[in-house]
Structure 1
Amino acid sequence: MHLAVYPPHGRIRLAAPLNTDSEVMRLFAISKLGWIKKHVKNFQEQARETPRDYVSGESHHFQGRRYLLNVVEQLGKAKIEIKGTKTINLYIRPGSTRDQRSKIMKEWYRKCLKEQLPELLEKWEDIIGVKADEWGVKQMKTKWGACNIEAKRIWINLELAKKPLVCLEYIVVHELVHLLERNHTDKFIVHMNTFMPKWRLHRDELNSLPVVHNDWGY
């Protein structure tokens, strides 16, 4: 049987073989009540960012560092650049809307992740001994990453562009290990301990960081 607590509000899911007796499942869930309450509490207490308006002076994160946004209105193609260690310049046409600015930021985050991932995937595929046939970046509401076992396809959440690089690397390893073991079984944990002994520290760091207002933990 597999028990999981899902963000953002602590939805509980118990998976078991079809022929499992309902009383056995009930007793199993009761035995894990302390664990369930702990995870629900963690989701409820996790720091949340307020919605962003994409205006000058607003805080934004990239690779685990905090930057102040500087909006520069000008004609020409929209673009983003990092200035020094404290500023992200967003060049945008005059009169642009919040949604337009948000879209430009997200595409920049996506581009940055797509530049980082090939090297990370190549490194960890060699270490773990697996090969992802496809990979991609997309906005996800309930997971930091996902792995389609049959297609050998890895998905990485766009939000990881904001997090420290070690957190991104942890998720890459986590999803690649699913190509060895589908579920979060004891065998899965053994693989994680073998390939990335400090994975729990990286997971805890990721889940302790502020997340967007509709985000969650992993």
Structure 2
Amino acid sequence: MTTEVRDLTVSGIKVEVVRKDIKNLHLGVYPPHGRVRVAAPLVISDDAVRLAVIDKLGWIRRQKASFAAQPRQSQREMVNGESHYFLGQRYRLRVHERDAPARVAVRGIASLDLFVRSGTTADQREAVLLRWHREQLRALIPPLLEKWQPMLGVQVADWGIRKMKTKWGSCNPASRRVWFNLELAKKPVQCLEYIVVHELVHLLERHHNDRFAGLIEAHLPQWRQYREMLKKAPLGHEEWQY
């Protein structure tokens, strides 16, 4: 597929324009700093892109302000007392050094126990926690797929979990493969369900158009509430790039 990438500045806002073999123009604002990206058909001129951006300036500025106001965690040091999130709940990390296999356990409603061998680095400790996050998502996602696939009349061929820079999920309708962002383990479970539905609906409608919004609205009327929960939940420390 032919793809052309260039930057434009519209009313003081830097816009990345990606031209490719598509039929419609799509505009998005992405975390963590509100990067603006336009995916446009190859035949659309710069002036047409500028007009499309100007038409959405109010919405773009609101999105950028929302990202700027969103709480953000600092780089995690993986030490006692540090705050970590799991399914929307904040926990205090308790590190235990023991000569045993590494593991993670939730203690009560406020503590997250991390068991590691003596001398492990912060990166190694974080890797243990991320592996645990992945295991939790692997247990949480199948029941949601089993619930929503028959309701929507779709079936994924495969799904997976990975760290993603700008999206909470992605879907390839052609291969019917769905990916979920590992960061979803930190968010409320309702947010995970919203992303599951969102990606499954892409098997019915590839684009974020009126039909797509109508399908989500019909099956998950609370989706806007869940999306706002996702926006308000603290972002990780990563410097995400599109």
Equivalent residue, structure 1, for 2:22: none
29-38 vs 171-180, which moves further = 29-38
Q: Name the SS for the 1:102 alignment partner.
A: helix
Matches within 5 A, 1:73-112: 73-112=97-136
Equivalent residue, structure 2, for 1:71: 95
Equivalent residue, structure 2, for 1:44: 68
8 Å Cα contact 1:48/1:212 also seen in 2 = yes
Task: Provide the identity percentage.
Answer: 49
8 Å Cα contact 1:143/1:157 also seen in 2 = yes
1:28 aligns with 2:74: no
- Matched to 1:45, the amino acid is A
Equivalent residue, structure 1, for 2:78: 54
Q: Distance in 1 between matches of 2:33 and 2:44?
A: 27
**Structure 1 runs of 4+ with >6 Å offset:** none
Equivalent residue, structure 1, for 2:141: 117
Give unpaired runs (5+ residues) of structure 2: 1-24
* CA drift at 1:130: 0.6
Greater strand share, structure number: 2
Q: Distance in 2 between matches of 1:4 and 1:76?
A: 47
- Matched to 1:155, the amino acid is W
Equivalent residue, structure 1, for 2:219: 195
The Cα RMSD (Å) is 1.4
- Bigger relative contact order, structure 1 or 2, given CA contacts below 8 A and separation 6+? 1
The normalised TM-score by structure 2 is 0.85
Greater helix share, structure number: 1
Give unpaired runs (5+ residues) of structure 1: none
Q: Distance in 1 between matches of 2:186 and 2:33?
A: 23
**Number of matched pairs:** 216
* CA drift at 1:21: 4.4
- Matched to 2:136, the amino acid is C
Q: Name the SS for the 1:16 alignment partner.
A: strand
* CA drift at 1:215: 6.1
37-46 vs 183-192, which moves further = 37-46
